């Protein structure tokens, strides 16, 4: 049975909300690549007639769009997404500082948060040299692979081993080729520095330096990074970027009320 059939094994749908849950499942299916009615039915496990009615309503309300490529996400979701993004003070506060950082380093700059156990990119300023990176606003990555993900985890030593194991699935690039002990040693070093690095862990040929952003409670609420292709990121430059990225992250943190003890 699909994610929102009669029952979801991981979540009890509150009484009276099953239709809403099914509609959300349809949106999620289209977001994951279902482009026609058959694919949506297969993804959700809903009946064809129910799916058809939900799709019609979602298209009418702008949550989905029906075109030559089949179903895609609609303009209402874009509108709501921008409102949600700007309802979070972090990207608004961070943007001018990220622009200054981008102009200084000429490389790709990211802003990200942890959401649902993964990295969620909130902003991206492309660099002016090297290859374009696959990251984009709204894109998700495993926490243990992305540089910003490691920065988000600097205070979470109790989670490192479990996250490494969950992200080291068979057939995938492990977060650290030398195993969980090496990953933990790297994370301990990053925690001492207050900055993390991606040494082509996430994407071949891409390296980055990342630092956490904290709020008034001293909690890590986000992370920023500078990323570039490996020819522009030799070890010496990465070490030199650590204080640069940390200063930018510190300015964002200060704007969120963080005061270093």
At 27-58, the pLDDT tens digits run: 989 988 888 999 999 999 999 999 999 999 99
User: What's the CA gap between 211 and 23, in Å, rounded?
Assistant: 38
User: What's the CA gap between 173 and 235, in Å, rounded?
Assistant: 22
CA atoms within 13 A on the CB side of 207: 15
The pLDDT value recorded for residue 85 is 61
For residue 75, pLDDT over 70 is answered with yes
Instruction: Identify whether the C-beta of residue 44 lies closer than 8 Å to the C-beta of residue 3.
Output: yes
CA triple 116-241-105, angle to 5 deg: 90
Residue 128: pLDDT band with limits 50, 70, 90: confident
- Dihedral over Cα of 116, 119, 121, 122: its sign: positive
- List pLDDT tens digits, range 173-230: 667 767 899 999 999 999 999 999 999 888 888 999 999 999 988 999 999 999 999 9
The pLDDT value recorded for residue 1 is 34
């Amino acid at each position: 049975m699909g994610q929102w059939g009669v029952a979801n094994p991981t979540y009890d749908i509150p009484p009276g909300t099953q239709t809403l849950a099914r509609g959300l499942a349809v949106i999620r299916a289209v977001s994951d690549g279902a482009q026609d009615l058959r694919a949506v039915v297969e993804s959700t496990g809903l009946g064809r007639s129910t799916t058809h009615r939900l799709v019609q309503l979602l298209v009418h309300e702008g949550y989905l769009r029906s075109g030559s490529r089949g179903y895609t996400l609609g303009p209402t979701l874009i509108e709501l997404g921008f409102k949600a993004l700007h309802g979070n003070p972090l990207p608004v506060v961070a943007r001018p500082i990220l622009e200054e950082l981008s102009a200084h380093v000429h490389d790709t700059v990211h802003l990200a948060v942890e959401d649902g156990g993964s990295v969620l990119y909130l902003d991206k300023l492309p660099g002016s040299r090297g290859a374009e990176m696959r990251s984009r606003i709204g894109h998700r990555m495993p926490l243990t692979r992305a540089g910003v993900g490691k920065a988000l985890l600097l205070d979470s030593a109790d989670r490192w081993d479990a996250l490494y194991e969950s992200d080291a699935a068979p057939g995938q690039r492990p977060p650290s080729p030398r195993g969980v002990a090496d990953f933990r040693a790297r994370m301990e070093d990053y925690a001492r520095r207050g900055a993390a690095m991606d040494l082509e862990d996430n994407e071949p040929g891409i390296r980055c330096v990342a630092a956490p952003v904290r709020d008034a409670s001293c909690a890590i609420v986000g992370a920023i990074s500078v990323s570039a292709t490996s020819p522009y990121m030799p070890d010496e430059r990465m070490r030199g970027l650590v204080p640069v990225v940390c200063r930018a992250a510190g300015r964002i943190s200060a704007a969120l009320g963080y005061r270093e003890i």
